Structure formats: C-alpha cells, structure tokens
Amino acid sequence: MTDADLNSEILLDHYRNPHHHGQIENPSAKQLEYNPVCGDTIQITVRIENDRITDIKFIGRGCSVSQGTASMLTDHVLGLSLEEVKKISQEDLLDMLGINLGPSREKCALLSLNTIKKCISQYENKSRS
C-alpha cells in the first residue's frame, strides 16, 4: 500500500466515523458554508476561550472529501490559538491530507478550512464591536 492509498483510507475512515460531529450549544461563533459547484455544506460551531479553540464541532452534507476533511481538520485545530489557525494555508491542508486531489476535489477539501476561518473572523469582528 502506498502512502497515498493509506491517506485515502484515513480520510475515508474519518468520513465513515467523523470526529467532533454535532453542534455546540451557545457557541462563540457559528458558520455555514457551501460549495457553489455542488451545493454541499459544512456548518461549524466553535467555542473560543483566551483566543484558543477549546471546542469545535461540525455537521454537513457532502462527499467523502469534504466531510472527511472536516473531521480531520477539527481534530487538528482543537487546542490551537486563533493566530495558529489563521496561518493554516491551503497548501498546509492539502499536505495534511497527503492525497493528490484534482482542482475540483481540492475545493471539496478547502470547504472546511474556509468555514473555520470565517468562524474566527466572525468572532473577532464581534469581539471588536
């Protein structure tokens, strides 16, 4: 089995058995995003304390790449500071997945990263006002 095969298996396992699935009550921020190409969705709720992610959950509807990535990414960002999450680039995310996705499947993977970042923007805008 190659590394790419193994990483595909890991992603599929996250899709079938998602981590952090659900919704947080009274979250610090909540964001729903969709992929305009297919209409698939990711909603993320997050709890932020002392500028750090202390809880995060997602729900959504879509392909194995979008939903599996959301599960992996919520594992990854839990406990990170907001600044650390803001620095996660598209390349970092694709490296983390370790699979060669075509451009349209990359959009599936990036949906959850964009959603998490919008949650942080929403939280920061709310904190400033």
What is the enclosing helix (H) or strand (E) of 29? strand 29-34
DSSP 67-114: HHHHHHHHHHHTT-BHHHHHT--HHHHHHHHTS---HHHHHHHHHHHH
- Determine whether 63 is exposed, middle or buried from the number of CB atoms within 10 Å of its CB (0-12, 13-18, 19+): middle
What is the closest distance, in whole angstroms, from the C-beta atom of residue 102 to ligand FES in the complex? Answer: 11
Between residues 80 and 94, which has the closer beta carbon with respect to ligand FES? 94
96 binds ligand FES (CB under 6 A): no
Report which residue's Cβ sits closest to ligand FES: 108
Which of helix, strand or coil describes residue 62? coil
Query: Binding residue for ligand FES (CB under 6 A) from 10, 52, 55, 63?
Result: 63
Between residues 80 and 101, which has the closer beta carbon with respect to ligand FES? 101
What is the closest distance, in whole angstroms, from the C-beta atom of residue 86 to ligand FES in the complex? Answer: 23
What residue type is assigned to position 20 of the chain?
Answer: H
What is the closest distance, in whole angstroms, from the C-beta atom of residue 1 to ligand FES in the complex? Answer: 24
24 binds ligand FES (CB under 6 A): no
- Could you give the CA distance from residue 76 to residue 70 in angstroms, rounded to a whole number? 10
What is the closest distance, in whole angstroms, from the C-beta atom of residue 65 to ligand FES in the complex? Answer: 5
